[in-house]
Structure 1
Amino acid sequence: MRNLNEVIGHADQFCKQQGGRLTEKRKEILSQLIKSNKALSAYELIDAYKQESGSDIPPMSVYRILDFLEEAQLVHKLKLANKYVACSHICSDHKHEVPQFLICGNCSRVEEISVSHTTISDIKKSVKNADFSLVSPQLEINCICNRCIPDKDLMQD
């Protein structure tokens, strides 16, 4: 990934283009998510913010910041874990695809990958055929990352 200042600078410009503002507190929360190897809860972000800045930030402020960052497509909320990750495409100028999150059940590392429109279309059809309505096409898959597999040769496809 690019260096932190470059990513934050890109996010700042993106917010300005959209008519928003990336305040210092928003930058700090986004920075904590970018620096993290895993998804973080609002309370983990509060602790990280306090460690970094030496000052407290109220939980409601963090939730408002996360709502802003999520609406700006700079972070994603993992619904199953109720945690947040920085978007891996902050510095990309292309339209965001439907994200799929691979979440390591051992170390909580998260990797964002894109899902093809064909796959999402197939999922929508299956959901409709089951008499349901799709609320969000975001996929979260529990996995074990290669760093956490003790002996990769023992794992089979």
Structure 2
Amino acid sequence: MQQKKLNQTDRPAPPSAADVLSACQGLRLTRVRRMVLEFLLGAQMPVKAYDILDALRHGAPKALTPASIYRALDYLLQEGLVHKVGTLNAYVACAEACPETCADTNAACTESCAENCTCSRAGSHRVRHAPVFMLVCPGCRKSKEICDPALYQTIFSAMQRQGFQLQGDTVELTGICPGCAQQQDQSCTI
């Protein structure tokens, strides 16, 4: 019996980063949600919704609308896969810099949930991140997600003492990144 040679199109495509991320959290992404998440994962910096729309419009088999992009972003925000950088009015994929905790047991998941989680719904549960700080550079529009639960608790407690309620789980701090600071220093010495 003659075996059929496999060519590149016969092999299943390897799972994308968005597929792996959504599978770990037990999510099923629509085509548009997957496209938006993949784009943000590749961008590695905050991107405005209309820029996402413009970038995805060309490769989409079906016409995309601003509403479909915003719906996808809202869903991805709700599921903790992206963050909104309000100071830039842009979105960035979650960097997964923070330790993840199982939504069932609140225990740290240090590896892939699907392989190592021991809770009752191992491999099919939602994972939530600890609160994060988003460092934002207005010069180059880069952002960096960091996690410091102790500092976050200090800020949260101070707000509560003043009668304020923190909205969301991301605190944005605006500052000049090392690259922009270096450019500023070089322009001052010339």
Residue 5 and residue 152 in structure 1: after superposition, are their counterparts in 2 closer, same or farther (change >3 A)?
farther
Displacement of 1:72: 1.6
Q: Secondary structure at the match of 1:147?
A: helix
Gap change, CA 1:135 and 1:37, over 3 Å in 2: closer
Mapped to 1, the partners of 2:21 and 2:59 lie a distance apart of 20
**Corresponding residue for residue 135 of structure 1:** 167
The unaligned stretches of length 5 or more in structure 2 are: 1-13, 101-108, 110-127
Q: Is the 8 A contact 1:42 1:62 kept in 2?
A: yes
> In the TM superposition, what is the alpha-carbon distance from 1:107 to its structure 2 partner?
0.8
Amino acid corresponding to residue 166 of structure 2 in structure 1: L
Deviations for 1:120-151, whole angstroms, at most 9, x for unmatched residues? 22212211222322223421111222222226
Q: Does 1:110 align with 2:143?
A: yes
| Aligned-pair CA distance for 1:54 | 7.2
Higher Cα radius of gyration: 2
- Identity, % of aligned positions: 27
Aligned position for 1:125: 157
- Are 1:49 and 1:55, in contact at CA under 8 Å, matched by a contact in 2? no
Distance 1:56-1:82 versus aligned 2 partners, 3 A rule: same
CA contact (8 A) 1:146 1:152 kept: no
Describe the SS at the equivalent of 2:166.
coil
Alignment of 1:31-110 (within 5 A): 31-53=38-60, 56-89=63-96, 94=109, 95-110=128-143
Let me know the Cα RMSD of the aligned residues: 2.7
Which consecutive unaligned segments of at least 5 residues does structure 1 have? none
TM-score by length of 2: 0.66
The alignment covers a number of residue pairs equal to: 147
**Distance change >3 Å, CA 67–CA 151, structure 1 → 2:** closer
> Partners of 2:22 and 2:163 in 1: how far apart?
42
CA distance in 1, matches of 2:33, 2:169: 27
Instruction: Tell me how far 1:89 sits from its aligned partner.
Output: 1.3
